[in-house]
Amino acid sequence: MGDFNPRQNLPGRPMFDWIQSAGLGAGGLWAIRNFRRSATARELPAWVMLMTVSSLVTDDAPQFERMIGAGVPAAALVAIGWVHGMGRLLPHGMGMPLLHGIGMPLLHSMGRLLPWVRREWLLRLGAVLLLISSLALNAYDYFVRYPRAPGLAEAFTHTPVRLARTLIERAQTEAVFVERITEAEDVYAFDFLFPGTPVRRLDFRQCMPLADGRATRTTYLVLAERDPQSVGSLARAFPSATITRIKPEGASLMGQAVLVEAPPGATWHEDAIATVSARFAPGIKLLGYWWSGPKVKAGESLFLTVYWKAEADFSTDFTTFLHVLPRQWHGDAIATPLIAQRDGQPCQGFYPTSQWRAGDVIPDGFAITFPSNTPPGDYPLAVGWYSYPSLERLTLTEADQPLPDNRAVIGTLTISAP
C-alpha cells in the first residue's frame, strides 16, 4: 500500500510498479535460497528492513519520504531477481557465450542451436519490452495521473502561493505590507515570489507603517501565529478594516495568518498621542508623539514613539534625531551642549525613508537613558532630520515651536533627582 499524502507521492501508489514488484519477489526468493552462502543475500534484506522500520513505527504510516532509504537495497534486489530469473529461463551455458564455440562446424550445430537462439532473443526482447513498459507506467503515473490528483495543489503550499500572487497584483495599485518574522525562517513562497515586487516586508512587532487618508486600500498580512498583537493594533487603528483569518494547510509550512484591509480614505487615529505639528522638506510631517511620561528620574530611561507621515514618495535614506536641550535654552537660541540625544534610521532601521510612500504613517519608537548625574529641571525635546554622510539637515518648513537651525521643539521633559 502506498502513501496517501499527495505531498509525498501519488496517493496510494506503492514504491514499485507490478513489473518491478515481480523482480523484487524474485530477488527475495533468491536471498532466501542463498541466505547462508552469500553475504549480499543477508545484507540487502536487512538493509531494507532497517530502512522500513522508521516508516512503520511513526505516525501516518506508510510514509513514502521515510522509506526512501529502502529504495537502494530494494532496487538491488529487483535487479538481482530479474537477472537470476532470466538465467533460470535459459539453458545452462547459453546466452552471450553462445557463439563462443564458433569454430565448430556451423552447419552441424545450427540445427541444434537455432531453437535456443530464438528462445534467448525472444527472452531478451521480452525483458526489453518489460523495461519499456515499466518506464511507461512510471511516466504515466507521475506525469499524467499525479498532476490530476485531488488535493495536490493544497499539499504543495497552495495557500501561501495564492496569497503571494494576489498581494503582488494588489501592490501594483495600492499599499501592501506583509510581515516577516525576523527570528524565524521565512515562508518559502514569500521568500521566492516577493523580492523585486512593490510588496513591502518588515516585522510588524518592530515597526508597523499605518495609513492616513490614502486614496487606495491598504492591505496587511500579519503572521499571527508568532505575532498575536499586531492584528489588535491594526483593528484599533482602523475600526472599519476588514479582517480575514487564514488557516493554511498543515503541509504548507506556514502558520495561521490574518489579512487586514483598511479601506480607501481610512484615517489613522490614536487618542494616546500628544499632538504636535512640524514639517520638513521634501515632505515629512510630524503628527505627534507618545511617551512613557513627562517626568523621569536621572539614571532612568524615557520611552518615546514619534509619529511621522510621508507626504511624498522617497528614494533616499534620511536620518532622524531627537535632542534633549539644556535647561538654559531659550526659544531664539541654538542650545548646546546637549543633555542627551538619539540619532538613527526610523524604526531601528527596519523601515528607512527610501521605502516610504505617500500616505504612510511611521511610528518610530526608541528609548533615551539619562546619566545619573543629570541636574533636576525641565528640558525641551527637539526633533529633526539630516542626510548622511553630509550631515546636512532637512529644511524645517513649519512647526509649532521652530528653532532657527531646522529643529522643532515637541515638548518638555522634567528630570528629577534619582
pTM, rounded to two decimals: 0.65
**What is residue 220's predicted lDDT score, i.e. its pLDDT?**
97
What's the confidence (pLDDT) of residue 302? 96
d(CA 348, CA 276): 22
Q: Which residues pair with 319 in a beta bridge?
A: 386
pLDDT recorded at residue 149: 80
Q: Looking at the predicted structure, is the pLDDT value of residue 174 above 90? A: yes
Residue 365: CB atoms within 10 Å: 16
Q: Do strands 408-416 and 295-297 pair parallel, antiparallel, or not at all (unpaired)?
A: parallel
Q: Report pLDDT digits (tens) over 35-64.
A: 888 888 888 888 888 888 877 776 666 677
Which pLDDT band, with edges at 50, 70 and 90, does 11 fall under?
confident
Asked whether the beta carbons of 316 and 354 are under 8 A apart, the reply is yes
Query: From residue 282, how far is each of 7, 277, 314, 353 by CA, in Å?
Result: 52, 16, 9, 11
Is the four-CA dihedral 327, 331, 336, 342 of positive or negative sign? positive
Report the 10 Å Cβ neighbour count for 93.
10
CA dihedral for 128, 131, 137, 138, sign (positive or negative):
negative
pLDDT average, residue stretch 13-17? 83
Using omega within 30 degrees of 0 as the cis cutoff, is the peptide bond preceding 389 cis? yes
360-394 residue pLDDT tens: 999 999 999 999 999 999 999 999 999 999 999 99
Q: What pLDDT was estimated at residue 99?
A: 36
Compute the Cα dihedral for 301, 305, 308, 314 and give only its sign: positive
CATH architecture type of domain 274-416: Sandwich (2.60)
202-250 confidence digits (pLDDT tens): 999 999 999 998 999 999 999 999 999 999 999 999 999 999 999 886 6
pLDDT at residue 330 in the model: 54
Three-state DSSP at 94 gives: coil
